[in-house]
Structure formats: C-alpha cells, structure tokens
Structure 1
Amino acid sequence: MVGLLLTLALTTTAGQLPVPTSPGELLGETVELTGDVRVETEPGVLVVARKNAVLRSGTSVLRADEISYNHTTQVAEARGNVLLVMRGLVGFAEHLTLDRQRRTLTAENANGEGAAFVQKENVSPEALAGMETAEQLAKAGKNAFSFSTRGLHIREDGAYELEGSSFTPCDCDVLTPTWRISTSSAKLTPDESASLTLPAVYVYGVPVLLLPWVYLPLSQRASGLLMPEVTGSGLSGFQLDQPLFLTLGRSYDLTLSPGYAFGTEPLEPTQGSLGVKGPRLSTEFRYAPLAGPEGNPAMEGRLWTQLIYDLKPERDPLNYNVLAPGAPTRGLRGWGLLEHRQKLGNGFFARADMKLFSDGFLFADTTTNSAFARSFYYVPSTATVYHRGTDDYAGLALAYRQDIRWGYSLFGAGDVPRPTVFQELPTLRYALPTRPLLGPLNGGVEVELSRLSPLDQLLGDEGTDGIYWPLLPDADGTQGNGRFDPGERQARTRLDVMPRVNATFDLGGVLRLTPYLAVRESLYLYEVTRETSHRGYGMVGAYMDTELSRVFGEGANALRHSILPSVEVRAVPHVFGQGSPQIYDEVDAAVPENGFFQGQVALRQKLLARAGPTGTRELARLDVVQGVDFLERRLGETSGRILAVLGPVTAEARGRLDLFTPETEERLTQLSARIGWSIIRDRLSVSAGYERALASSEQVRRPIDMLLPPPLAPQVPDPGTAVSCSSDAAFVNKSIDRVLLGAETRLPFGLNLGYAAEVQRKDPARCDVAELFSQTLNVSFSPSCDCWRLNAWTRVGPGTTFDGGLSVTILNLGTFGR
C-alpha cells in the first residue's frame, strides 16, 4: 500500500510498475509463511518463522530474519534485514508491522528512523519477487521514486495519512539520497491530490526551501497550486507569482497566476526608466478538444494574457527616459498571446500566431535586454487558412504589425499623431512547386494577391519626404495633414505572378547543366489616387556543377575528399512598365529598374570521415565564391568559408570582401571566426570568437531575384549626432568589432561552471573605443542521478545593467525560480 505514495506523488512514468490498489492486494485471503525454522506458538493463531523467513500473500513478498503472523488479528511483524516487495514497490527496514484490520503499516530502520521504500521500473514484478538480497533489489531496474516513512494509515475513503515522511522523486540512491522532501505529516488522495504539512526541501541535509503547507495535484489532470515562481531582473527587480492550475475537463485547463513585481528605481528620480512595478495577473487557457483519426490533436492552442497595474510614472511616448508632463502612474497595462492550430479536413488547415501589447514600451519593459536588441521594431501577428495538397499550396493570410519603437497606446485616441504602419489586409497565395512537365522540363508557378494598407485610413501621411520619424521636424507641413502628397505611401493592392521552368541535362556523365527561365509580372492598384501600373520582366539563367571525389583508406578509417565546382549566371535583360515602383516590401525591390546581368563562380571542398555504421562527420571544408557584375563590368563580392576539425579543436571562419566597387567606404562587408577546444572531453572546454557587425547582412542587402547584393550604402553622418567619441550616439550605424570569449567545465561530482564575455571595439576606423560589453556567469549543480538541479546565473551588461536568476528544478515536480 505504501507504494501508492510513489505513484501519486508524481506524474506516471512510462515503464513504471503497477502498485497495489486495495488492502486485499497487499495481503491476500491466504498466507504462506516459510523459513528454516517454523513454529506455531499458538496452533491456528500465531505462526513464527526464523532464518530466511518468507511470507507470501496476494502480490506481497516479505523477507526477514524473523516473521510472525497472527491469523486472528491479521497482523504480520518482521524483524531483521526486512525486505518488502509489493509488485513494483520495494521496502528496506529493520522492523516492519502490518495490521490488515486497522489498515496501518509501521516501519523503521536500524537507527529508529523511517524505513526506506522505492518504486521500481524497467523490471518485472516476478523478477523482483525472486530476488533475495537488498543489494539485488537496490540495483534492479530503475528507481522511479523513493521515500521513507514511519507509519501509514489507510482511511476508509481511500485516502492515506503518513507520519514523519520524506520522499525523492527520481533515480537516486535508495538508502542515502542526496536530497529529499520531508514533511511532518501528509494526506494523499489517490489520483487527486496531496497535502503536506510543514514540507522542507533538504539538499545534503541542508534545508533550502521551507513552507508551512503545500497542496499538490497528484495526477496529470488535477487542480491545485503549482510551484511558486520567483524571478528577478534589472528591469523589474524581484518578482513573485503563485500559479493555480484548474482542470476544465479532459480537453481544457486554466492557469491563474497572481503576482507582484517590486520594480527598480531609476538612477535619476526625475527621469523615466524601463521595467514595471505593481500587482499583476497572468491567465493561461489551453485547449485540445478535437482528436484526429490517429489520436493526434485536430485542434489545439492556448490563450495567454497578463494584466499589470503599473505604479511607475508615465513617460514621453517618444523617449522612455523622459517623464510625461505631471508624471502620472502608468496604470493598467497588459499583453496577450494566442497560438492556435487546427486541421479542418480534406487538406485544409488553420493557424493563428498573435501577440499584442497595450503600448509600444511594454515589450521593452518586460523583455530582458530588449534595449540592446531594438532592431525588432515590430511585433507581428498572423492568421492563416490554407490548403496543402501533395503538390500545391493555397492560403489566405492576415498580418498585423505593432510598432514597438514608440510608447503609443495600442488603442489610443485617433487624434494622437503617430507613424503609420501598413498591414497585410489580406494576402492570397497559390504555389505550385517545381514538378515534371514534359521530358527533362520541370516547372512551377507562384501567384500572390496582396493588399497593404493602414487599418483606419488609406494613406501613410508621411509627408513629401516619405519618412514619418517623430523625432525629426516636418519641413514643409505635409506630414500628418490628412491629404495625399507626392512621395507618400498609400493603400495598395498588388497581383504578382511568377511562373518558372527549368531542365537538367547530363553532359557526358561529367557535368550537370540546369538552365532556367522565369517571368515575374506585377500589377498595382493605388487606392487613393486610383492609379494603376505594372512591372514585368523575364529572368533567364543557367547553373552548371559537378563533383570530383576520392576515398582514402578503408573501413572505419576511410576519408572522402570531394571537390564541387559550380558556375551560375542570371540576367534580367529589360524591365517593362514601372521600373522602380515605390518600395513596400521585398517583391517591389526584387530587381533594379535597368535589370541586371550577374554571375557567380564557386569552388567548394569538403573532407568527410565515417561516423557510425552509416553516418559521416565533416573534418574540413573550404568554400570560395566570386561574384561578377557583367553590366557594370566589375567583380562583385568575394566570399569564403573555412572549417577545420583537428582532434578536440574546431575552427571556422567566414568572410566577404568587396574590393572592386568604386568609391565604397567599407570593403570588408563580413568577417567572423570561431575556435573551440575541448580540453577534456565532456569536462572542460574553451572557445573564442570574433565578429565584425555592420549595418546590414548580405542576406538583407541582396534582392530576392538577384545573385549578388548591392554595395554597402555610404554611411552619412546625422547632422544632429555628436562627433565626440565619448557619446553613444556617435556609434549609431557604425561598424563594431565583437570578441566573444567562453569557458565551460563539468566536474565529476555534478558542479557545472560557465563563463562568457563580450568585448566590443566600436567604430575602429575613427574612434577605436573598446569596452567590456557584457559578462555572464552560470553555476549549476546536479547529482549524478540528475534528480534535481540548482542553477544560478548573472549577467553584467553595459554601464550598470545587471540581471540574474536562481532556480531549483525537481524532477517531475517542476522549477522553482528563474
């Protein structure tokens, strides 16, 4: 019966053995007691067995130096080296008494403390019943859960009361666990809940968590309090939340988490700051009501919201460091997230991914280090209904982008001027992937009908310069005047069609040639001016490649060296119609108005070694790629990658050079390198890296239909930017050299240490300012059985920025902290 404690105290584990579910299973109608010496001290009433005594009844096997059983009182008592096996439950005690009539079990070890019990898995009940020594039982299978108790009472309603108990929900040493949860008393209701009085978590005998009382759900679908969540950050300080889990049937559940953020104070009381302070309530609703024919959810999702009454002072929506006039409290704020997946049948699906903030600054207030990643100017929300066939795709999508650069309210007053954001309202897509057409000919087509427009109007109203930047003055008064002026964006509908064909030819078994042809036609309708236009062009190209390889050695020591040269040319000879439409998205910027004629020559080499019976691993790689712009009669960017693995050392470098574009300020457009050394395998490793960060990557600069990116645009200094190298504004849009250092060690007794540092060298061409940008330290400890983990981390960022966290993770019980 005690084994039920194991099953109830954690979620059922695959492979875990069943335990007795009734008193009759613990001790059956008949009892068989054997031993080297068997004595009936009272004939028909009391039987005593000594030396290798064994009692068998129901599913139970009890072994001890001495066992007595009273048929009248139905009490069994075992003394000396007691071993108890009840199906999947194994007990170790010095003295054990079982009273079937009173429904009680008492047990203690040689020190007078509670006896040890363990729930086994990955071993059969028959195998356990046949084991005769404590050593055999301790090593058998895997320990799913272990506990100790002095006594157990089985109530009439099926609930269990324990005295002086402690338990460990994982595969640790049965008799000497490194940690435990101790409680003065506990009540467990099968498949429902457990209430623990004065529980304490001990690690190596040291209490690390004390609570007056805890209510725990003991099944996958039981309501109850979850582990408290304690977090902290440099933005919002110490934060405490207490989740409450509520089941709403088999397919729905709800988690309510009231909490409080204690906040932090700005260095200057007269200035604004990031972060929140005040009471909050998080609500997470999850659902999966429909099941498909294979048992997988046909519909599932979650709705997660958080409301907070922010007590910090309000800020200027254009600058979070400046307080708003009068500095009232920010008041009620919040965010919401929706994730939905649904199979509609017949190949139709629906999906929604939405996240909205009550104001633009809330993202930075609640996201650690968001101030250093402000390139995320928008938070997207999308909803899609689509059909996916075996060889085609058709979908309808809506997309909303929330501007989080400024602190404007999501549902603010309409008379507050703010930058206009264009949304996808809606987009229809149809795609037929490349498929065989006739002989060697393959083809496909993509069709897209999209409408981009603000939600509440038809024009961007940016002004004649086409830029709505609240911090810049409006030069001619056209910004936000409610009228369309030349240079402004307006609601626009575009139909884009792109068919393509290709064919692959084998040239003498040596070369492979793939010529291709594509046509893109875009039709535009501008909704304010009622103007229409189009842009069309044909794109022709060819790709030729081959592979030369040789295998050195045999068997497990074989090495394969491959050389893969390739050549590709691509051209758009002429652009018809509106050569350079106003750019709204990547399709509008797909090609320049005069077309292009470009080529790319690549030579790639790799060295592979065997890894296992069928796998391979890469030992070395060398890639060199050269671009050519035939129209401008110059070479384009040169790129390369090198990788080498030499025993425990792995080194890699990437780079891009633009040596041939005239009047280009930045020739080195990309450079990164990394080296890692596993000094002691799985125990000690170090790494170092270098990266030159520029204003834009090659993937962002290269238009979607071209082979080569355009040269980097010259960096024009802002007239309002300070020229002093001591000012952070002097480094906006300037190159930054980043040096990354890291070290990690995993010690045999479970202690892990990790350290990472980033050094930045800003604007090396002019200022050459170096600083230790950030340092991060991680410390974690976990025993060899990996039952629990203690993790602490801290990060020191630029200036006085500080962030950190502490968490305790208990297997099958959750994580306490952050």
Structure 2
Amino acid sequence: MSLLAPAALALLVSAQIPLATQIQLPTGDTVEVAADYVVYEPDKQVLTARGHTELRTAETLLRAEEVTYDQANQRARASGGVMFVSGQFAAVADEVEVDLKSNEANVKGGLFMQKRNVTSEALRSAETPQQLRQMGETPVLISGTRIKRTGPNAFAVDDLAFTPCECGPGEPSWRVEANNANVQMGERAILTWPVVYVHSVPVFALPWLYLPLAERRSGLLVPRPTTSSLFGFGIDQPVFLTLGRSYDLTLTPGYYTGGSQEDHVLSEAVTRKEPRYFGVKGPRLHTEFRYVPSERTRGRATLGFLYDLRPPRDPNNGTFYRVDGGTNEALSEHRGLRAEASWQHTQDMGNGFRNRVDAAFVSDGFYTRDFTADIVARENQYLRSSAVLYHRGEEHYAGVDVSLRQDIRWGFSFLREDRVPAATDPTRPLVPGPLTFQRLPSITVALPERLLGKRWAAGLRVEFSRLSPLTRSYGDEGEDGLFNASRAYEVLNEDGTKTPLPDSTQSNGVFDASDREARNRLDFFPRLSTSVGLGPYARLTPSLALRQDFYLGERSGHVAQRGYPLLGVAVDSELARTYEEGSAAWRHTLRPSVEVRYVPGVWGGVPSPGASPDRPPQRYDELDAALPVGADGRDRGFLHAVVEVSQSLQRKQGDQRREVLRLRLGQGFDLSRHAPTFGGGSYGEERGVLRDTYARVNASAGVLNAGALVRFDPISEQISQLSADASIDNGKGEALYARYDDLLAVGSDRLRRGIDALVGPAAESRARAQLLVAGSRLSLGIGLGLRYEAIVQPLAKTQSPLAQQVLGVSYGPACDCWRIEGVATLRRGQKRPDFGVNLSVAGVGAFGSGS
C-alpha cells in the first residue's frame, strides 16, 4: 500500500458503490473505502471521493479530504490534509498527484517521516497531519518535489531536503539538500551533490554522500578535519559497517600532513628550521570493533596503524638522529610503522564467574605525545592494562589477574629493539630501555569475615603474586635500582647535596649492583574482630590481624620472609537530631571516633637486591611498603592513632535524601617511641608525636557542589596539602567549575601512607607543586554554546604559569538533533593553537576530533 493506492482503487470503483465498502485490488490487498460521498462522471471518466476520505488495509492507512482519479490519463490526485501510514513510516502532504504509467508522484508540501517509540496502531489513529507529526520521535524527515517509487520502501527523489531529526517550529534547524537522491526508508539515502544548510546558509557541499537512515546501518560517517601544530592538517573518513545485530566495525582511514617547523639549535653556530621533535606525518588507519552478543557480555576493541614519515628519534631524549650526531641535517629515513591498540571487555559467565579486561598499548613511548595536545594527557607516565577472571560467592572470592604497565616516559619501543640507525652509526648499537615490572600473574583467595560463635568474626585473604619483567628475570637497573635515560645515578654528599655519577652497571646485561630480580611473593592476612556496645552511646571494635609474607627471588634463588601482628581498636559514637520543616526533615549527626593501630614488632624483612644482599631492602609495591621505614631502611613496628570528629547535615523530602553538608576534622599521632616494640628498624631522630592535622568539608545546595581538604604537617610547620573544588551546574548546559591543588613533598611517599599504617612518614623534601584547573560552559541563546578551560601552574618560574587553554564554540538547535563545535587548544610554548572540529548528529552518531 502506498500513495498510489487511490489510483489503483479508482480502476475498480464506480458511481454505484456504497459510501463504505471493501474492494479487492489486483495486488491482493483488501481496501476498506469510506467517504462522505462518491461521484463518478462517465463522460469524463473521472471518479471523485470527497469528505473524510479514508482508504485502509490491515497495515496501511490513507486519509485525505478529496481523492480523484482520471481513468483516461491514468492519473490520481489526493488533496487536503493528505496522511499516509504504513508501519513506522508516515507521510503528510497538502497535495499528491500520481502518474500510474510512470509510477511517479509530484508532491506539494510533503514530508516523509520515519517514526520510533510509537506503535503503528497509534499512528493510524491520528486524525490530522499535526497529530501525526507530533506522535513519537522522528529520527528521519525527508521532503521532495518529485518522487518515483522504485520498491516497497524505495524512492527516487528530486529536490530532496533531508533532516535526520525534527526540530519544533521556530527553532534553529539544519538540512541536507540534493538535486536527486535514492532513498531506502529505514536503511539509507544516497545523495548526489548534497549541500548542508544551517538555516538558509550553505555550510559545505560534497559530490556524493551515503547517509544511514537507521541507528545501525553501514555507510560513510561525517569526515573529521583537524589541524594541529603536532601533525598539521589531518582528515579522517570513518566508515561504519554493521556485522549483524550484535557487532559493528568502524574503519577510519586518514592522512596527516605534518606539523609546523621550528628553530633547532644544533650548535653555537648552526640553527636550522626543522619539523618539531614531537608530531606525526603520514597515512593512518584506525579500526574500532564493538560487540554485545548477549546481555551478559559486551566489549570494545581498537587497533590503529600509522606509517610515520617523520625522521627517527633517539628514544632517550626525543631528538632527531643525525649523520654525525650533531650539526648535520636529520636523517631522511622514516620512523615507519607505528601502532596503538586497546580492549575493554566485561562478561558475566554465570554461576558467580565473571571476567574483565581493560587494556591499552602503544608501539612506543612517544606515541601519545605525538597525537595529544592536552598537557595533562601528555604527562601520563604509564599505560596500565589488566585482566581478571574471578568467582564471587556469598562466603568467598577467588580470582586470577594479570597487570601490565608500559613505561611511556621515554620513546622506547614496546615489542621490538631500539637501535641507532646505520646512517648515524654503521654498527647499529642497541639502545636499551627500561624493563618495567609486571604482575604475571596474581592469584587471590579471600574469605570475608563471618561470625565465629556469637561475637567474633574472622576472615582470611591469601595472595600469590609474581612480579617480573616480560622478557627477563631481572630489571638491569644498575646502582640505584632505577632506570635513568642519562645512565647515571646520584650519590648523597655529607652536606646534603647530590653528585651524579655514571652508572656502568645499568643495562649491562649482567645481574649485579641493585638490579631488581623477578620475585614471587605469598601473602597471608588473617583477621579476627568483634564489636561491643559501650552502653547506648558508643561502640568498641577491637581487631587482631597477622600479615606474613614469603619471598622467592627467581634469579638469585634467595628466600626471605617478613611478618608482623597488627592490633587495632576503634571507638566511635553518634549523636543525631531531626528537625521538621513542613514536608521536609533535616537530620544532623555528630560522630566522634578514635582509631588506634599497633604493630609491636617485625620479624624478617623485605629482601634486598638479589645481587647485593648488603644493601637496603627493595620494595616493589604497596604490600612491600605497608609499614613505616626506620633510619636504617628496615621496616619497624609502630603505634599510630587518629582522632576524628565528623558532622553531617542531611535533608529528606519524600523518598529523596540528600547530604547538604559534611565536615570532618582529624588529628594524627605517632606514638611509636612510647610503645614497647621488638625487631624492625630504628626510629631515628626523635620527633613530636603529632602528625597531620586535617579538615575536609563537602557541601551541596541546589546547583552548587563544593569541597575542600587541608592538611597541616606540624613537623615541617607547613601546609602539606590544600585541595579545593567547586562547581555550579544548572543541568541545562551551563556550568562553572574549578579545582586547585597545592601539594608539598611531591615525589615522596608523603601522601601515600602504608596500607597497614594510619599516618604517613615525615616529609623528606620541600618540593611543592600547585595546579589550578578552571573552566565554564555557557549557553548564549539561538543555539550558540561556549566552553573555556585553563590550566595554571602558579609555581612556574622560567616559563608562563598559564600551561594550557582550551576554547570551544558550538552551534546547534534547541532540540539537540545536531551540534557542531570548533575547538582551539593553546599550550605553553606554542605560537598558534591547535584546532579541531566535533560534530554530533542525533540518530547518526558523534564524529570529530579534538587536536
């Protein structure tokens, strides 16, 4: 059934038919015809049905004020509020003329709509075109002046205007116009010489365009142009491919022209303009594969390849290799094939079994910095990948996991050797990189605490972990146990200064000095606890735990162990009062608490470097660093306490509860020198018992959310941490936000206490870092949007404190069926910003690129 149905019907009717009847068409359809009256003029061979004319089959409906059929010329005409419904396809028009011989129709004021979130029965119940347009959602809206039906849902359209969503009257809108198009409703539209208009302003034109008319249809997506000082002008063309109901693939070929050049000082007498050290040039292919085969399984995998035409670089410092290592031009060789990959996967296997993968990989450490203009993302030092398979029951947890870290502080390759190019050194010596330690694997069995008798609860956690590089049984770091690109280590002088010395043992292929070896560790952690009421006002929670670790060095065969008891007690109370205010209720709580942890002593210790058993212990992770360390570098017992007072103000109205204000005040104490201990390391310099004093506040009121944390170190008599954040968000696209961090002793363990300790060690340095991030999102009316973000480093001395600025200007209709945004990113040291364009289209997807 289609808009041609009136003409087919007219071949069979005459002036004698009743005003409501059923007629069998040659197509086999049965049509119910209803009208106020029907007139047939035999001399003119013209049939006219007037007044609430309705033609209905089991699945289709045509309504109009008047339908006429010219039998001699085989032409049909429907006029006056024409409406047509077939399944989720609907059309309205002022007038339709159909030529049965050519199967073509001329439409006046016609709109063809693809509907969703509404039933076909509801669409057929619409009595006016306005009701039909307002029903459900309209992801596709098409108009045209001349239409030829080429299939059940296929049309050839002249003067097409296409919109993949519908905005209300008077709202900013957009459309794609084309001289002609081939449209398959519910599948795709192929447009010849399409032009994109915003209002009546042409934005861009293409010779040919394939547009999917459904959420999961194969086709070309919107191209992504970008410009950046890193890689110049770039263009990506995504191609979306459906692979059934549960799988799809996006292939994105692209090309980057290469970034701007800058002056390179090669010597006192030689300065040459060359490409930037960071950036790319050349063709790229990126692939994204998504799958959701069941409600329990979903995932996403990406794989990208780039053939980089830029000159090769030294992975230690990122500078170009040169023929004589100094003044000559950079090598004409190419960096060659580079790659990136990622995989995110979750699966519920049933019966309590689950697995999860979150992995990321780049071919070399410079890959991220070559593509990313954002200063925060460029400072990432590691890519972490993990995979876990576990079973969780009501009374147990058992799992096996692996964790990989890729060191991206330097430019070393991940899966191949780095060698000096032959043009620089014919012997092509190896450039050794860091051998990062991985968890391969870790096996964990945990029994959550459960009651033993009436009062006591017991739990157990056992973990086996193997920490090792991927390709060797030791790290080959050298004297200080750390990889340094300069191949040097620092020696502390008596006056407190440090002197760098060359480290000939680093990357020498020999297990010596302080090289870290692959290590196996078995950790036992049983815990026993209970809770006792102290009258109606307080609760006492004592606990007793034991941590016992066994170590085996894979290279040296050395065996070590470390163990200690952990005693804890917590006392807390809560005072609460509720205030009624009309239909709302306010609840104020005051919760004082005291927690004490005591390790009376340590037996054994973390192993020293396998090749140097006389050196201080080497700690690999948070379990090894669970305890405070004495002046001699050995673990020691401790007695720590934290006193805290927490207040909370909550508002409840109906079923909604919201915490308006929370304030926490606390004081840490290190009482170790007043407690009896055995074994372990010495305490070193006697210091006061006070440790961090801290205050944390969080507030929420309407569109405002704010928080702050301040820590004061009484030993250094300085604020060790000051963090604050605030945001105002009205939920309508307008927001202001800011975050400030001021940290003392950056790079030490100052703010990372051991997992079994309550307070951290005293600050070992006076290094301080400050960072301010502030931004806003504004809606300026008539579809315009603006966002701005700035990153400021106030302590910068030799360069501008303003590290990065991002400005985005967007435009889109109020119905949000599409939005286009131009983004400019200006980083410190850049002469011009990087530019990118993001385009999101409802029902088609989001495309674009931020440089």
C-alpha distance in 1, partners of 2:88/2:188?
21
Q: Counterparts in 2 of 1:206-245, with a 5 A limit? A: 206-219=201-214, 222-245=217-240
Deviations 1:562-584 (A, max 9, x none): 11111111111100112674211
Deviations 1:404-449 (A, max 9, x none): 1111222333843222222222222112222333212222211111
Which residue matches 1:639?
Answer: 694
The reply to whether residue 760 of structure 1 matches residue 793 of structure 2 is yes
The reply to whether residue 602 of structure 1 matches residue 644 of structure 2 is yes
- Decide whether aligned partners of structure 1 residues 431 and 484 sit closer, same or farther in structure 2, where only a CA change above 3 A counts: same
Given that residues 373 and 825 in structure 2 are in contact (C-alpha distance below 8 angstroms), is that contact kept between their aligned partners in structure 1?
no
Per the TM alignment, residue 171 of structure 1 is displaced from its structure 2 partner at its CA by: 3.3
Per the TM alignment, residue 627 of structure 1 is displaced from its structure 2 partner at its CA by: 0.6
Q: What SS class does the counterpart of residue 793 from structure 2 fall into?
A: strand
C-alpha distance in 1, partners of 2:456/2:570?
15
Q: Higher relative CO (CA 8 A, sep ≥ 6), structure 1 or 2?
A: 2
Which of these residues, 406, 410, 421, is aligned with residue 414 of structure 2? Answer: 410
The reply to whether residue 795 of structure 1 matches residue 825 of structure 2 is yes
The reply to whether residue 263 of structure 1 matches residue 258 of structure 2 is yes
Per the TM alignment, residue 283 of structure 1 is displaced from its structure 2 partner at its CA by: 2.6
Greater Cα shift, 408-417 or 330-339: 408-417
- Decide whether aligned partners of structure 1 residues 582 and 753 sit closer, same or farther in structure 2, where only a CA change above 3 A counts: same
Given that residues 230 and 816 in structure 1 are in contact (C-alpha distance below 8 angstroms), is that contact kept between their aligned partners in structure 2?
no
Which residue matches 1:626?
Answer: 667
Which residue matches 1:508?
Answer: 535
Given that residues 228 and 259 in structure 2 are in contact (C-alpha distance below 8 angstroms), is that contact kept between their aligned partners in structure 1?
no
Which residue matches 1:30?
Answer: 31
Per the TM alignment, residue 248 of structure 1 is displaced from its structure 2 partner at its CA by: 4.4
Q: Counterparts in 2 of 1:71-82, with a 5 A limit? A: 75-82=75-82
C-alpha distance in 2, partners of 1:615/1:25?
63
Which residue matches 2:317?
Answer: 319
Which residue matches 1:690?
Answer: 740
Could you tell me the TM-score, scaled by structure 2's length?
A: 0.81
- Decide whether aligned partners of structure 1 residues 376 and 81 sit closer, same or farther in structure 2, where only a CA change above 3 A counts: closer
Per the TM alignment, residue 793 of structure 1 is displaced from its structure 2 partner at its CA by: 2.2
Given that residues 750 and 763 in structure 2 are in contact (C-alpha distance below 8 angstroms), is that contact kept between their aligned partners in structure 1?
no
Greater Cα shift, 277-286 or 747-756: 747-756
Which residue matches 1:15?
Answer: none
Could you tell me the TM-score, scaled by structure 1's length?
A: 0.84
Per the TM alignment, residue 682 of structure 1 is displaced from its structure 2 partner at its CA by: 4.5
Q: What SS class does the counterpart of residue 472 from structure 2 fall into?
A: coil
2:752 maps to amino acid: R
C-alpha distance in 1, partners of 2:762/2:742?
17
C-alpha distance in 1, partners of 2:706/2:347?
45
Deviations 1:150-177 (A, max 9, x none): 2332225864322222122223137987
Which residue matches 1:348?
Answer: 353
- Decide whether aligned partners of structure 1 residues 639 and 697 sit closer, same or farther in structure 2, where only a CA change above 3 A counts: farther
2:258 maps to amino acid: G
Which residue matches 2:724?
Answer: 673
Which residue matches 1:106?
Answer: 106
Given that residues 171 and 814 in structure 2 are in contact (C-alpha distance below 8 angstroms), is that contact kept between their aligned partners in structure 1?
no
Q: What SS class does the counterpart of residue 413 from structure 2 fall into?
A: coil
C-alpha distance in 1, partners of 2:400/2:835?
43
Q: Counterparts in 2 of 1:581-596, with a 5 A limit? A: 581-592=617-628, 593-596=635-638
C-alpha distance in 2, partners of 1:2/1:235?
55
Per the TM alignment, residue 811 of structure 1 is displaced from its structure 2 partner at its CA by: 0.9
- Decide whether aligned partners of structure 1 residues 438 and 43 sit closer, same or farther in structure 2, where only a CA change above 3 A counts: farther
- Decide whether aligned partners of structure 1 residues 557 and 699 sit closer, same or farther in structure 2, where only a CA change above 3 A counts: farther
Which residue matches 1:387?
Answer: 391
1:777 maps to amino acid: L
The reply to whether residue 433 of structure 1 matches residue 448 of structure 2 is yes
Which residue matches 1:784?
Answer: 814
C-alpha distance in 2, partners of 1:476/1:63?
89
Given that residues 683 and 747 in structure 1 are in contact (C-alpha distance below 8 angstroms), is that contact kept between their aligned partners in structure 2?
no
C-alpha distance in 2, partners of 1:509/1:71?
96
Which residue matches 1:7?
Answer: none
Per the TM alignment, residue 213 of structure 1 is displaced from its structure 2 partner at its CA by: 0.9
Deviations 1:577-635 (A, max 9, x none): 12674211111110131211000111111211225x21222222221011111114511
The reply to whether residue 422 of structure 1 matches residue 399 of structure 2 is no
Per the TM alignment, residue 45 of structure 1 is displaced from its structure 2 partner at its CA by: 5.8
Deviations 1:296-331 (A, max 9, x none): 244x44442211111111112111245454523212
Which residue matches 1:470?
Answer: 485
2:691 maps to amino acid: G
1:30 maps to amino acid: V
- Decide whether aligned partners of structure 1 residues 32 and 207 sit closer, same or farther in structure 2, where only a CA change above 3 A counts: same
- Decide whether aligned partners of structure 1 residues 799 and 27 sit closer, same or farther in structure 2, where only a CA change above 3 A counts: farther
Q: What SS class does the counterpart of residue 69 from structure 2 fall into?
A: strand
Given that residues 738 and 773 in structure 2 are in contact (C-alpha distance below 8 angstroms), is that contact kept between their aligned partners in structure 1?
yes
Per the TM alignment, residue 498 of structure 1 is displaced from its structure 2 partner at its CA by: 0.6
Given that residues 117 and 174 in structure 1 are in contact (C-alpha distance below 8 angstroms), is that contact kept between their aligned partners in structure 2?
no
C-alpha distance in 1, partners of 2:533/2:484?
56
Which residue matches 1:54?
Answer: 53
1:706 maps to amino acid: A
Size of the aligned set, in residue pairs, is 759
Which residue matches 1:460?
Answer: 475
- The two structures, once aligned, show a CA RMSD in angstroms of 3.4
2:844 maps to amino acid: L
Q: What SS class does the counterpart of residue 335 from structure 2 fall into?
A: strand
2:226 maps to amino acid: T
Which of these residues, 512, 516, 538, is aligned with residue 489 of structure 1? Answer: 516
Q: What SS class does the counterpart of residue 469 from structure 1 fall into?
A: coil
C-alpha distance in 1, partners of 2:595/2:443?
32
Q: What SS class does the counterpart of residue 761 from structure 1 fall into?
A: coil
Which residue matches 1:722?
Answer: none
Greater Cα shift, 577-586 or 597-606: 577-586
Given that residues 272 and 320 in structure 1 are in contact (C-alpha distance below 8 angstroms), is that contact kept between their aligned partners in structure 2?
no
Greater Cα shift, 485-494 or 37-46: 37-46
2:709 maps to amino acid: R
Q: Counterparts in 2 of 1:77-96, with a 5 A limit? A: 77-86=77-86, 88-96=88-96
Ranges in structure 1 where 5+ consecutive residues have no aligned partner: 5-22, 110-114, 716-733
Q: What SS class does the counterpart of residue 364 from structure 1 fall into?
A: helix
Which residue matches 1:280?
Answer: 284
The reply to whether residue 805 of structure 1 matches residue 836 of structure 2 is yes
Per the TM alignment, residue 33 of structure 1 is displaced from its structure 2 partner at its CA by: 4.6
C-alpha distance in 2, partners of 1:682/1:173?
18
C-alpha distance in 2, partners of 1:247/1:684?
36
2:791 maps to amino acid: E
Given that residues 738 and 761 in structure 1 are in contact (C-alpha distance below 8 angstroms), is that contact kept between their aligned partners in structure 2?
yes
Q: What SS class does the counterpart of residue 170 from structure 1 fall into?
A: coil
C-alpha distance in 1, partners of 2:180/2:463?
67
Which of these residues, 698, 711, 735, is aligned with residue 762 of structure 2? Answer: 711
Given that residues 27 and 60 in structure 1 are in contact (C-alpha distance below 8 angstroms), is that contact kept between their aligned partners in structure 2?
no
C-alpha distance in 1, partners of 2:348/2:700?
45
Q: What SS class does the counterpart of residue 361 from structure 2 fall into?
A: strand
Greater Cα shift, 599-608 or 500-509: 500-509
Per the TM alignment, residue 690 of structure 1 is displaced from its structure 2 partner at its CA by: 3.4
- Decide whether aligned partners of structure 1 residues 400 and 742 sit closer, same or farther in structure 2, where only a CA change above 3 A counts: closer
Which of these residues, 353, 365, 371, is aligned with residue 360 of structure 1? Answer: 365
The reply to whether residue 537 of structure 1 matches residue 564 of structure 2 is yes
Given that residues 761 and 768 in structure 1 are in contact (C-alpha distance below 8 angstroms), is that contact kept between their aligned partners in structure 2?
no
- Decide whether aligned partners of structure 1 residues 215 and 270 sit closer, same or farther in structure 2, where only a CA change above 3 A counts: closer
